[in-house]
Amino acid sequence: MSKRFEVFLGTNSQYYFRLKAANHEIILASEGYTTKANCLNGVQSVKTHAPYDVYYSKKVARNDQYFFTLSASNGQVIGVSEMYTTEAARNNGIAAVKRDAPDAPVVDLTTHRAFS
């Protein structure tokens, strides 16, 4: 399967999602959710907000690496990117989320079930 959201259960018993690009690289990841339903709502929020520039914040970490966050309309961060070594790579990551997230299928790794 190419681009996709993966929902999984962490070792801390919280649910997470990650968005993988067609090359299987993780381009966006969530923080933990206490329920799978809330995690799936997070995925839907990414799908809704991803196409719009206004919801992205470009950041620089202390180690001079670049990353971005994607927020919902209420200002809450719903996803964080991987670290990039250049601004251009970070901007390519944003473009990948904008392109891939809206129609990416969801794979539930807790049940090994795929759905849209």
CATH of residue 11's domain is 2.30.29.80
- Residues 68, 59 contacting (CB under 8 angstroms): yes
What is the span of the domain harbouring residue 77? 4-115
- Residues 90, 67 contacting (CB under 8 angstroms): yes
Tally of structural domains, the chain: 1
Question: Can you say how many angstroms the Cα of residue 35 is from the centroid of all Cα atoms in its chain?
Answer: 17
Per-residue pLDDT 10s for the chain (116 aa) are 589 999 999 999 999 999 999 889 999 999 999 999 999 999 999 999 999 999 999 999 988 999 999 999 999 999 999 999 999 999 999 999 999 999 999 999 998 655 55
- Residues 113, 1 contacting (CB under 8 angstroms): no
| HEC profile of 48-80 | HHCCCHHHEEEEECCCCCEEEEEECCCCCEEEE
pTM of the model: 0.91
pLDDT of residue 13: 92
pLDDT of residue 34: 96
What phi and psi values does residue 45 have, to the nearest 5 degrees? -65, -40
